[in-house]
Amino acid sequence: NAGVTQTPKFQVLKTGQSMTLQCAQDMNHEYMSWYRQDPGMGLRLIHYSVGAGITDQGEVPNGYNVSRSTTEDFPLRLLSAAPSQTSVYFCASRTRQGGENYGYTFGSGTRLTVV
Amino acid sequence: AQSVTQPDIHITVSEGASLELRCNYSYGATPYLFWYVQSPGQGLQLLLKYFSGDTLVQGIKGFEAEFKRSQSSFNLRKPSVHWSDAAEYFCAVGAGLTGGGNKLTFGTGTQLKVEL
């Protein structure tokens, strides 16, 4: 089925470990984003990309790196995990088109716990 | 910068009663506006969106929302709430009619509880 696929669904890390959250979409969407969701704070934008090779910071980028080597993939890297990064992470994508076609497709999320 | 305010953190309604969830936004032009619903442990489901035209938007599950430019509001309504509507609801604003930009800004959410 077409959509946004996130892996893994659950992950426990120790403080200081590194890991990559994977995000892939098969809709040929130009735009992709990463959000984190924390209780009482809604979803906050971490990083986003408007196309392969182009990324930019969102509202809460510290501690996270991204790259976009292909249209399909947008991995999120935690270089040295901290307990403050315990959260649920959502990847989203959309076409560059506006109007009726403007709409985000979200992945099912990755629940990350840093101990 | 765009922003969204959902002033009600928690709302409790009786099953069968009407519902209105408030959303106020800040954006320099006509925005794209969205309402999403999230059940516990689940992802986000789009209820409806507004980008132009008729200011009353119909969505899934019997929900509707009204865009009021003068009040910078996009309130979500449902005439008769069902127990299965208990969830968290998020209002969000995206970049304007040009379609450019890739920032979707969310409110902090409203947790809906439905009493039987």
| A56-94 pLDDT tens trace | 999 999 999 999 999 999 999 999 999 999 999 999 999
pLDDT tens per residue, range B3-17: 999 999 999 999 999
Q: List chain B residues with CB under 8 Å of A32.
A: 102
CA distance A80 to chain B (A): 26
Contact assignment for A33 to B102 by CB distance below 8 Å: yes
Angle (CA) A106 B36 B18, round 5°:
160
pLDDT tens per residue, range A28-60: 999 999 999 999 899 999 999 999 999 999 999
Encode burial over A57-93: b for 16+ CB neighbours within 10 A, e otherwise.
Answer: ebebbeebebebeebbebbbebeebeeebbbbbbbbb
Structure tokens at A106: 């979200």
Mutation pick from B44, B49, B90, B105 vs chain A, by most beta carbons of A within 10 Å, is B44
- Are A9 and A113 in contact, with CB atoms under 8 Å apart? no
Does position B35 have pLDDT exceeding 90, yes or no?
Answer: yes
Contact assignment for A94 to B44 by CB distance below 8 Å: no
Q: List chain A residues with CB under 8 Å of B108.
A: 40-42
Averaged pLDDT, B70-95: 95
- Report CA torsion sign: A12, A45, A79, A7: positive
Alpha carbon distances (Å) from A21 to A32, A87, A96, B52: 14, 12, 24, 36
Q: β-strands B110-115, B10-14: how paired? A: parallel
Query: What's the pLDDT at A99?
Result: 75
DSSP assigned state of B9: S
